[in-house]
Amino acid sequence: MQVSQSEPAVLHALVAVGTLDERRDVYLQDVSYTRSVVIDHPPETGASFHPQQEQHNDPFALSQYNKAIAHLANAMNSSASNSIDTALLVCILFVCVECLRGDYAPALKHFRGGMSIALAAAGEGGPNSRASQSTAIRERLMPFFNRLELLCQLYGQRPEYVYGLEPSETLPGVFHSIVEARDSIVHLMNISIRLIHTTKFRRYRDEILLDDIVQHNEVVSCLHTWKQLLDRFLATSPPSSHHTEAATILEIQRIATLTWLNRALVPEESAADADIPLYEQAVRLAESLQIPDHSQAITSTTKSTLPASTFLFDMEIVSPLYLVAIKCRDPSIRRRAIAVLRHTVRREGLWDSVKAAAIAERVMQIEEQGLPTLDGSVLPEEGARVANCHIDSGPGLSPSGHKVTFFTMPDGVRGRWHTWDEWVELQR
């Protein structure tokens, strides 16, 4: 807010974000998606299949957005010393604008553009490097871009630049704040997902290297050390409900990261079964959070019953719970994860909770076909499990239709891939 008083690009970008956020809350008062169905014949590409199109192209918000772009261009052409800081801040706000609009391609483009600016300004070693030439950028703005990178990586985007930190460099001797603990776990998650991307295909070809194993073990060790540091911080800090809730969210993220890493070096989907206790722990922690039930709030005539916001810049629990719901084959635990997602009607960056719940439900249906019982005593066979699914969503505040490509290996991990597309439609 302070910067917006002197930087018109920031001011207009903030107004665009605020307007779209209000539009999203108003829209969600009128629309409640309580179930999802699979359409046998997906509509042609570009066809509108939304029963109620969202007003994500609000004229006033778009006019403010365009003004911000124009002012940013002027700022970048000037010789002002703060032009780089302004550009990075506006890029972050532009990402928020596109996330609120539900248009992910421009959001990713803004992220990449901002990161390119940060890389050029930071100098040798990358913006996260301790040898970075720009301390201000590294300390003030890079935490935002690190969190954006995390959201983008979870959406399938693989960064092409060097991260600049080793796992051990992400851990201080002691945490002095919950923010410091958050920034540390974000680093560890980014490093972990980069490793997962590296081994994504090689694990199916028996091409895992010794370096992969060494880095894997180092990151896992750092995640355990991170937990010890957080516990010490909480034990020595005054009791705080804010700290308790924030620590719970961070612990869910740490547990999810461990489960991702535990599958990173092996091709079998059944390897995830060893982590069922971790999945249950993550779901139990998510259930303990006091998250407003938006599906009940929208039926009330009093606007004050709505959650304060349905959009968050940061990743909190949506993507971790989505990955629990698609990878944990215990019927009870995955249904609990989906239930939390269903009642958490909000968007965290690029991740929408209702969409995540719908896709996870479809994965569950596919995998549980033919199971003799759902008491957890029998889990899906390897060939019946969904190894991956790619989500292609149209723009909108909370789009109702999603094209999903599913990947399975019906003949086992040494067999052929089987892929098919479905259209998952959210309905009232």
Read off the pLDDT of residues 150-164 as tens digits, 9 standing for 90 and up: 888 887 778 888 888
| Cα–Cα distance, 181 to 161 (Å, whole number) | 24
Indicate the residue type of 408: T
Question: pLDDT higher for 104 or 267?
Answer: 267
DSSP symbol at 238: P
pLDDT for 365 beyond 80: yes
pLDDT for 86 beyond 90: no
CB atoms within 10 A of CB 162: 12
* pLDDT for res 272: 96
Mean pLDDT of the region 97-118: 84
Read off the pLDDT of residues 238-247 as tens digits, 9 standing for 90 and up: 888 888 999 9
Q: At what angle do helices 210-236 and 178-199 cross, to 10 degrees?
A: 160
CB 311 within 8 A of CB 102: no
pLDDT for 422 beyond 80: yes
CB 163 within 8 A of CB 149: no
* pLDDT for res 350: 78
Read off the pLDDT of residues 394-418 as tens digits, 9 standing for 90 and up: 554 345 677 899 999 999 998 999 9
Average pLDDT, the chain: 83
| Cα–Cα distance, 306 to 24 (Å, whole number) | 12
DSSP symbol at 270: G
Question: pLDDT higher for 295 or 13?
Answer: 13
* pLDDT for res 154: 81
| % of the chain exceeding 90 in pLDDT | 51
Question: pLDDT higher for 145 or 26?
Answer: 145
CB 369 within 8 A of CB 382: no
pLDDT for 170 beyond 60: yes
DSSP, collapsed to helix, strand or coil, labels residue 390 as: strand
pLDDT for 62 beyond 50: yes
pLDDT for 424 beyond 90: no
* pLDDT for res 290: 66
The residues that bridge with 38 in the sheet, in sequence order, are: 424
